[in-house]
């Protein structure tokens, strides 16, 4: 306590303009920090209002679509939207399932490609690779994320589709198909899965690995039975982000999957995804405030709720299985 009084008195004598111990210890106004605080607050507010504006626009235009569908086909308009198997709003077919099934099928194929390969890459980079190998391989892997998606689309059309047709037969695989689009979408999001999963694995304390090695566990056993469960919440979040990315992918499916809504569960046939349909009809002679124009926002709202549901599930899983280490 005497040392504290000595420091305060010396400071007051050295800087008499402070006026005394109370004024010396009082919080000072720093205009630079206030400017930074205000700037950061404005950035957060802009992002929130932007999100609100997007949701409002989607909801208002979607309401116009559902209102027109009710006027066109009666009370079955909304029911047909969620249960119908034909999509052509101009003639009163409002079933969105052909677009939804194509989207889910493409995303499922992408997940079958990206999740195992991305997680395996993350385990190798985190648990096996040395510092030199990690610093070399990780930038090369993340370089895939910098390639424009339109290039991936033509890669799927000109390389992956001919490869599938050679392996499985030209009569089995159509030129436009969801299989090649899904495989290439999976290749596209491998860096996303790998990078986020590697960060989650790398955050696991080294003491857990050393304890596993001390009781005789091999490196593989430590990776699969200790590190992987400890990083489960972070890996789950990486998977959900990757699934959302696959569902929202546009150019690859627009080029390689095909055009025209068609309800099919054969991945080797052409089908049109939700984002691919939006691109196709937006690029045509689409009149403003027509039912086709409003249908774009209804499809966008459906995509929004799909990704929102995935994010809600992700947050619950992360909160449920999150590990906190001191």
In a domain, 120, yes or no: yes
Mean pLDDT of the region 33-37: 86
The answer to whether residue 81 sits within a structural domain is no
Average pLDDT over the chain, rounded to an integer? 82
CB 291 within 8 A of CB 87: no
- Does residue 10 share a domain with residue 110? no
What's the CA gap between 62 and 294, in Å, rounded?
6
Domain count, the chain: 2
Q: Is 280 exposed, middle or buried (0-12, 13-18, 19+ CB in 10 A)?
A: middle
Tokens of 185: 């979408």
Give DSSP secondary structure letters for 243-289: HHHHHH--HHHHHHT-SS------TTS----HHHHHHHHHTS-PPTT
Task: Give mean pLDDT, residues 166-189.
Answer: 90
pLDDT band at 185 (very low <50, low <70, confident <90, very high): very high
Q: Above 70 in pLDDT, residue 75? A: no
Residues contacting 239, CB < 8 A, separation 6+: 111, 115, 193
Residue 108: pLDDT over 90 = yes
Residue 94: in which H helix or E strand, if any? strand 93-94
Is residue 82 in some structural domain?
A: no
Residue with the bigger pLDDT between 146 and 97: it is: 97
Among residues 43, 74, 105, the one where a domain terminates is: 74
pLDDT digits (tens, 9 = 90+) for 132-155: 888 888 888 878 778 888 899 999
The answer on 115 and 6 residing in a single domain is: no
* 191, 67: one domain: no
pLDDT at 72 over 70: no
39 by Cβ neighbours in 10 Å (0-12 / 13-18 / 19+) ranks as exposed
Pick the last residue of a domain from 74, 106, 132: 74
Which residue range(s) make up the domain with 57?
Answer: 2-74
Range scoring the smallest mean pLDDT among 118-127, 202-211, 214-223, 282-291: 282-291
| Residue 86 domain flag | no
d(CA 195, CA 315): 19
**How many Å apart are CA 260 and CA 273, to the nearest integer?**
9
Write down the pLDDT at residue 14.
Answer: 52
Here the CATH number for the domain that contains residue 189 is 1.10.3720.10
Of 291 and 23, the one with more pLDDT: 291
Percent share of the chain, pLDDT over 70: 86
- 255 within a domain of the structure (yes/no): yes
């Amino acid at each position: 306590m005497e040392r504290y009084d000595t420091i305060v008195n010396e400071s007051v004598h050295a800087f008499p303009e402070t006026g005394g111990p109370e004024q010396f210890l009082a919080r000072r106004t720093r205009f630079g920090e206030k400017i930074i605080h205000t700037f950061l607050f404005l950035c957060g507010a802009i992002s929130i209002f932007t999100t609100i504006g997007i949701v409002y626009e989607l909801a208002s235009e979607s309401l116009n679509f559902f209102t027109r569908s009710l006027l066109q086909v009666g009370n079955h308009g909304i029911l047909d939207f969620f249960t119908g198997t034909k999509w052509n709003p101009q003639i009163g077919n409002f079933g969105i399932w052909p677009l939804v099934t194509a989207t889910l099928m493409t995303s499922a194929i992408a997940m079958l490609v990206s999740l195992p390969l991305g997680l395996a890459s993350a385990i190798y980079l985190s648990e096996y690779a040395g510092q030199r190998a990690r610093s070399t391989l990780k930038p090369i892997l993340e370089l895939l994320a910098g390639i424009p998606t339109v290039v991936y689309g033509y890669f799927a059309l000109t390389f992956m589709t001919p490869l599938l047709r050679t392996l499985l037969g030209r009569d089995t695989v159509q030129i436009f198909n969801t299989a090649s689009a899904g495989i290439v979408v999976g290749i596209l999001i491998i860096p996303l899965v790998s990078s986020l999963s590697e960060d989650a694995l790398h955050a696991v304390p080294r003491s857990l690995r050393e304890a596993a090695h001390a009781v005789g566990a091999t490196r593989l056993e430590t990776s699969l039975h200790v590190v992987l469960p400890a990083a489960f919440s972070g890996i789950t979040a990486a998977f959900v982000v990757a699934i959302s990315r696959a569902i929202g992918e546009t150019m690859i499916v627009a080029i390689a999957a095909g055009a025209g809504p068609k309800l099919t569960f054969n991945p080797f046939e052409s089908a049109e995804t939700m984002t691919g349909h939006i691109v196709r009809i937006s690029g045509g002679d689409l009149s403003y405030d027509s039912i086709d124009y409003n249908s774009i926002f209804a499809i966008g709202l459906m995509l929004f709720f799909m990704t929102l549901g995935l994010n809600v599930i992700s947050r619950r899983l992360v909160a449920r299985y999150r590990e906190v280490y001191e």
